[in-house]
Each structure stands twice: as C-alpha cells, then as structure tokens.
Structure 1
Amino acid sequence: MSAAYATGLPAVIRGEEAFQAARRQKRQQALLGGAILLACLLVAAWVSEAYPATLWAGLPRIGEYFAKILPDLRWASLFAGAETEGSIAFWLYRLPEWSLLILETANMAALATLMGSAAALLLAFPAARNITPSPLAYHLARRSLEAMRTVPEIVYALIFVWAFGIGPLAGILAIAVHSAGANGKLFAEAIENADLKSWEGVASAGGSWAHGCRFAVLPQVLPNIISYLLLRFEVNIRSASVIGFVGAGGIGEELYKVISFNYYEEISAIVLLIVLTVSCVDLISERLRHAAIGRLETAR
C-alpha cells in the first residue's frame, strides 16, 4: 500500500462519515417536519369538526343525492318529444331559457374580465418593484391589489346586490374587482421580469415614466398579459355561475332556484350545461391564447 493511498484513506472515511451524518440529520428534520405537519392537520380537523365518523356517515348521502339528480332516461322514449317522460327533450325542456342565461353568464364574465384587467394593468406598473415611480406608489398599488383579491367574489356580490339591486350589474362589478386584484399581481410580476435595457433607452431619449411603460415594458410583457387575461376569463365563467346564488345574475340564479325546490332532474341539466359551456370556453380560450402569443412573438 503506497503512502499516498494510506494518507488519503482516512480522509475518504471521514468524508463518508460526514455524508452519512448529514443524511441522518436531514432524515430527522424531515421526520420532525412531518410530525409537526400531521399534528397541525389533526388540530385543524378537530377545530373544524372534520371527524372521520362524520365523513364516513355523510359519504352515502352524497351518493344518494347524485342518484336523485340523474335523469330518468328510458331507451324506448329517449328521442321522443318534450311531452314524453324519459326522453332527452323532456329532461332539457327548458333548454332555450337556460341557453339565454348561459349566454348572459358568459357576457358577464367577459365584461368583468375586461374591466378588471384594465384596472389591473393600470395598477401593475406602479406595483412592479423595478419600475415603480416611488416606494409610496409601490406600497399603495400592492396593498390595493391585495385588498381587491383577498375578498371572495360572492362577498363583493352581496355588497353590490345591496347597493345596485338584484341583477347582472352586481355580478359584473363583483367579478371585475376580484379580477383586478388577481390579474394585477400577475401583471406586476411579469413586469418585474422584463428586461430594462429598452427602458433605459427610452429614458436616455428623454421619455417620461409613462413613455417607458408604454414603449419599453408593455411590448415585452404583452404575451403574458394576454395569456393571464384569457385564463382569468375561463375562471370568471365559473365565478359568474356561482355568484348568481346571491342574486347577481346569470345561470346561478336559476341553479339556486331548482336546488331550493329540489327539482332534481333540472339540477343535473343545468350542471351539465355549465360544464359544457366551461369546457367550450376553455378550448376556445386556449386556441386564442396560443394564436395571440404566437403572433406577438413573431412580430417581435
């Protein structure tokens, strides 16, 4: 055995021992973290009364409810008229009325998305740390966005229903305020990741802060903004279907009525229409998003 090999062997052993010690320490930390997390989950379940026995007792009732809302379709009369029980037409006898409500829901979501995203874009520039005009403007914009997105849409809907009365206007305003807060954060983060070389070029040419936002930053982040806007539209379709429960317009009002009166088959029909609408909007928005982003990237 050479002297160099004999000298290096203890160093290798010490390195292996150090590696094993660090590995044991990481395992102990992981076990401790898992134990703390489990304890927190158990305490949260106890505080919220989410007892396993209660969950186990309620699961069959969920199955019973879904069994009730399933339509009573019969093969012999499946394609018969709306007067024949067991037919699809009988199940969807109010389809024209519901289609108008679905269209109203989509219009609410579209208008609210545009209004909220416009406000979000205005607040996103001062809320971006790298280009904000002052620390005061940064904190005011950030805190405003946080306040708008913290409150759920249904709470805003209750407030606006009280202020403006029952109808789509309350729903549009509720979704718009929440969308402004949610999209404002995403827009600001996209701006913070922008390259500021063009910003410096606009400033050196004598441009103002607004000129820098318009001509240096906005062209860079526009693909992300369009992507976030279309994604928010998909989310707002779902939100518009829910806030109707408090009288804020859309298909949600009708869904709340049929649930309240236990019109079980109508519940499943409306839910199916909502699912189909959201799926179609998701597919269309995805294609529009990819097409818009592709054109903008090509133009750049």
Structure 2
Amino acid sequence: MGAGIAAGADTGPISSQEAAFRAQRAERRRASLVAFSILAVCLLAAAWVSEFYPSSLIAGAPRIGEYFQRIAPHLELRHLLAGTETEGSLAFWFYRLDSWFLLILETANMAALGTLGGALLALPLSFPAARNLRAPNLVRIACRRGLEAMRTVPEIVFALIFVWAFGVGALAGILAIAVHTAGALGKQFADAMENTEMRPWEGVFAAGGSWPQACRYAILPAALPDLLSTALLRFEINIRSASVIGFVGAGGIGQELYQVISFNNYEEVSAIIVLLIITVSCVDLISERLRRRVIEAVA
C-alpha cells in the first residue's frame, strides 16, 4: 500500500507536466492555424489586386510556347557545321559572334568594376552600420538608412539617372551597379561583422587602441573570409544585372539584346540568350573556385 501511495505521488507531477505540455502544444497549433489563415487571406488579396488569375495563366501559357518556338534556331543536321552563309548552320545562327563576344566582355567588365567600386564604398560604411561596434547612434542610423536607400533603388533606375547625366555607354552601367552593390554589400558586410568574436575587439581597447584600430585589427581579419565570399557572390549577380541595364542604354550586351528584341530578330535573340547563359555559367564556376581558394588562404 505504501508503494502505491509513493507511485501515485511520483506520477502526479508527471501528469500535470504532461497536461501543461499538451495545452501549450494545442495553443501553438491554434496560433499557427490563425497565422496561416491570415497569410492565406493576404496572398489571395494580393493575387486579386495584381490580377493573378489562373485563367490568365492558362490563356497566356500557349503564347510563351509560341514565342520560344519563334526564337528557336532553324538548324539542319546536314548543314550544322557549314559556314556563315549557309542557313541552318551554327555559324549562320551566331553570324555576329565576334561583335557579341566583345559586348559580353564589356558586360563582364562592367560587372567587375561595379562590384569592386561597390565593395570599396560599402566597406567603410559597414563598420559604423554594425550594431556591435558601438558607433554613435546618429552615425549608425545614417549609415544603415543610406545603405538601405542605395539597395532599395533597382540598378535599372540608377542606370536611367546616370545615362541622363553621363550619356549612353558603359560608364552609366558601372556607376549604377556600383551604387546598388554598395547598398547590398554594406548590409551583408555589417551582418558578417556582427557575427564576429568580440574578445579581440575588447583586447584592442584594453591595450589603448582607438575605434578605427579596433575595426582594422580585430574585426576585419575575423570577418574577411565572409566579406570576400559575399563580394564574389555579388559579382556573379552583377553579371546578370549588367545584362539587364543595357536595355536603357547603359552599355553591354543588354543594349544589343534590346535592339534585336525590338526589331523581332528572333534567332538573334536566342543566340544572345545562349551566349549569356554560357557566360554566366562560366563566371559562376570560376567565381566558386576562386571563392574557395581565397577563403582557404585567409582562414
């Protein structure tokens, strides 16, 4: 009998804890159900406002296939390796490969210079923007809002502004990419710095160092692998951006792509798209290997 009383005393707290756990789990489920219901209503409202109707998708899907059919090259196996004068050959499809290659090279240069300029502008702004580095509140807020403003405005809008200011050409594209990249990298750089170990930071101050010295010798070496990795990844993204901003006269292959689309030169559209895909794939592979080697070297 004493053993039964002891067993009951032992199971009493366990039963109450189990009941509390089940009640808490039920409350979480109700909260999740309410949250998902609100999200579903918001998504449906957004679809209604933006006219995202299934009927529109069904009606427009065949047109997408029709356009791809138009831009597809008319290749013939018997003439596949013939010269540029023979219709149905690869050479005929890429008959302007020399000029397109130079434009793609210009696009890559725009992306590289824009990424470098954006990174150089983002780095000094990211130190005061990081919350853990204890910059004055006014300076920190100004840096964070400035970075937000730069990355909120799309590259193509900056490109329109710089084309108006500097004229048509690659300079406008480089500046547009650099400004937007500075805003994007500044936020990511600051996030990387906020995740660093702070004991070296405190050690520099304990030794009598200043705030810039603490940033240089304590934070920068610790965050450098993440900064380099982020910058290289941004370069890959900027290759695509440089291809788009050419639509507004900011140079590169995008300007040529806009012209062939405007004149309905369908086969030239597909040829340029294929070259862009090959270029981006090559840049991705090279950047990935370079990023790994750089991280291994500085880690």
Letter in 2 for 1:121: L
CA distance in 1, matches of 2:254, 2:171: 14
CA distance in 2, matches of 1:17, 1:129: 42
Unaligned runs of 5+ residues in structure 1 are: none
Structure 1 equivalent of residue 260 of structure 2: 258
Farther off after superposition, 40-49 or 23-32: 23-32
What is the aligned counterpart of 2:128 among 126, 131, 148? 126
CA distance in 2, matches of 1:129, 1:233: 26
What is the aligned counterpart of 2:71 among 65, 69, 76? 69
Matches within 5 A, 1:40-189: 40-189=42-191
Structure 2 equivalent of residue 19 of structure 1: 21
Letter in 1 for 2:262: S
Number of aligned residue pairs: 297
1:6 positional shift: 3.2
From the superposition, tell whether residues 254 and 207 of structure 1 become closer, same or farther in structure 2 (CA, over 3 Å).
same
Unaligned runs of 5+ residues in structure 2 are: none
Structure 2 equivalent of residue 213 of structure 1: 215
State the Cα RMSD in Å.
Answer: 1.5
Letter in 2 for 1:231: L
Superposed CA deviations along residues 13-42 of structure 1, whole A, max 9, x for unmatched, are 444443333333322222222221111111
Superposed CA deviations along residues 205-249 of structure 1, whole A, max 9, x for unmatched, are 333222222222211111111111101100100000000001100
CA distance in 2, matches of 1:107, 1:80: 32
CA distance in 1, matches of 2:86, 2:251: 31
1:287 positional shift: 0.5
CA distance in 1, matches of 2:253, 2:247: 9
TM-score using structure 2 length: 0.95
From the superposition, tell whether residues 210 and 26 of structure 1 become closer, same or farther in structure 2 (CA, over 3 Å).
closer
From the superposition, tell whether residues 14 and 211 of structure 1 become closer, same or farther in structure 2 (CA, over 3 Å).
closer
SS of structure 2 residue aligned to 1:120: helix
Is 1:125–1:132's contact at 8 Å kept on the other side of the alignment? no
From the superposition, tell whether residues 28 and 263 of structure 1 become closer, same or farther in structure 2 (CA, over 3 Å).
same
1:202 positional shift: 2.6
1:228 aligns with 2:230: yes
From the superposition, tell whether residues 22 and 243 of structure 1 become closer, same or farther in structure 2 (CA, over 3 Å).
same
1:103 positional shift: 0.1
